[in-house]
Amino acid sequence: MKTVRRPAVAGSFYPGDARALKRMLADLLTRARAQLSAAPAVPKAVVVPHAGYVYSGPMAARAYARLEAGRGRITRVVLLGPTHRVPVRGLALPGADQLATPLGVLNVDAAGCAQAAALPGVTTAPEVHAWEHSLEVQLPFIQTVLGADVAVVPLAAGDASARTVADAINALWGGPETVIIISSDLSHYLPQDLAVTVDAETVTRILALDSSIPHDRACGATPLDGMLLAAQEHGMRAELLGRCTSADTAGDPDRVVGYCAVALHEAATADAEPAAAAAGPQATEPPADAGDTLLPLARRAIARAVGAETGTPAELLAGERPAWLYRPGAAFVTLRS
């Protein structure tokens, strides 16, 4: 008899009714597709938020829209998110055979879980997963975008080093059949103006593959830093898909939570960017939130000019090169004292 992890936050973080959930996901993904420029390749990994869909769903949808072209090819998802309710040392597997949502069940990848369980710092702890939302809220997106036949390796990250997480990710890396999904929000409960500034700095560090992001900047810093460390080792390139706060979607501007969507591409796909830029404006049109990339880049370029930061212009662009940046264009920067 199969052991099934039942949904804990259906009806609160996302609709508990299958038809309502399908409609909401379809709407979120339709809007996300319209906001994204064409992608040169399906990313190997994505960073997605994990709040209620009314708050972070639009940003999560951007990451999942990037994965749609991998449907049929991607057969395994390595899913990592932080623990919020039950503490655990290291990484925890659910000890379940299936993960249920209102849309049906996803199979847990038994071979992948066995491989992970053999690693130092990985345990099996169903109680950690029972009420954990950071992983659960990703499942309906996975079912919708990648299909019900994909298998999942769900890992809840507790007190673990970036090295421990990176080792688990590297062990489960696989080939084109495997995608890695990292669940993390950004800052919590800051006023809107401060959150925007703080989150912009955090996103700049993510794009630079900085694997030392603290937990007050990203609630999922443990899995996020592990992914960024693995990304360094694999020579990956980061692509910002968007950034917002809960105040931009449905929340109180006095106490906001920050969200971002980031795609991480393997080195083998990095050369596709210039080709995408040459494909014409439809493939490389700047998205509505282009400022999320341009503003931190401008700040770093100014810092370099006044000696506050070192590095060549090419180094300043490392990890921050969406295809639309290759198009001829201009940006206006105003300096205020």
Alpha helices in 118-209 (DSSP H): 126-130, 133-136, 139-146, 162-171, 192-207
Task: Report yes or no on 240 lying in a domain.
Answer: yes
Domain harbouring 84, CATH code: 3.40.830.10
**Quick check: 136 pLDDT over 60?**
yes
Q: Which domain holds residue 113?
A: 4-279
Asked if residue 149 belongs to a domain, the reply is yes
pLDDT of residue 314: 42
Report the share of the chain in percent with pLDDT over 70.
83
Q: How confident is the model at residue 337 (pLDDT cuts 50, 70, 90)?
A: low
Positive or negative, the Cα torsion across 263, 267, 269, 275? positive
Kindly state whether residue 288 falls inside one of the protein's structural domains: no
How does the average pLDDT of the chain come out, rounded? 89
Is 316 domain-assigned? no
Does this model's pTM top 0.85?
no
Question: How many domains, in total, are found in the chain?
Answer: 1
**Per-residue confidence (pLDDT) for residue 121, from 0 to 100:** 96
- The β-bridge relationship of strands 256-265 and 237-245 is antiparallel
Q: Is 298 a member of any domain?
A: no
Lowest mean pLDDT among 52-56, 145-149, 173-177, 325-329: 325-329
Mean pLDDT of 148-171: 98
CB of 319 closer than 8 Å to CB of 237: yes
Q: Which residue has the higher pLDDT, 257 or 334?
A: 257
Say how far apart CA 310 and CA 306 lie, in whole Å: 10
Q: Which residues of 6-128 form beta strands (DSSP E)? A: 45-48, 76-82, 91-93, 98-101, 104-108, 122-124
**What pLDDT, on a 0 to 100 scale, did the predictor assign at position 285?**
61
Q: Which residues pair with 105 in a beta bridge?
A: 100
Span 19-42, average pLDDT: 94
Going by the DSSP 8-state scheme, the letter that residue 319 receives in this structure is T
pLDDT tens profile 269-327: 554 444 444 444 444 467 767 777 777 777 776 776 666 665 544 444 444 455 555 44
Does any domain span residue 46? yes
- The stretch 44-57 carries a mean pLDDT of 99
Check residues 117 and 337 and name the one with the higher pLDDT.
117
What per-residue confidence (pLDDT) applies to 278?
Answer: 43
DSSP state of 205: H
- Are 259 and 299 in contact, with CB atoms under 8 Å apart? no
Looking at 23-32, 39-48, 297-306, 318-327, which range is the least confident one? 318-327
Summarize the confidence of residues 165-194 as an average pLDDT.
98
- pLDDT at 152 > cutoff 50: yes
pLDDT of residue 275: 44
Looking at residue 305, its pLDDT comes to: 61
State pLDDT tens for residues 76-107.
Answer: 999 999 999 999 999 999 999 999 999 999 99
Across the range 195-213, mean pLDDT stands at: 98
Q: What is the pLDDT of residue 306?
A: 65
* 192 inside domain: yes
pLDDT tens digit string along 237-274?
A: 999 999 999 999 998 999 999 999 999 999 865 544 44
- Tell me whether residue 21 is in a domain: yes
Greater pLDDT, 318 or 135? 135
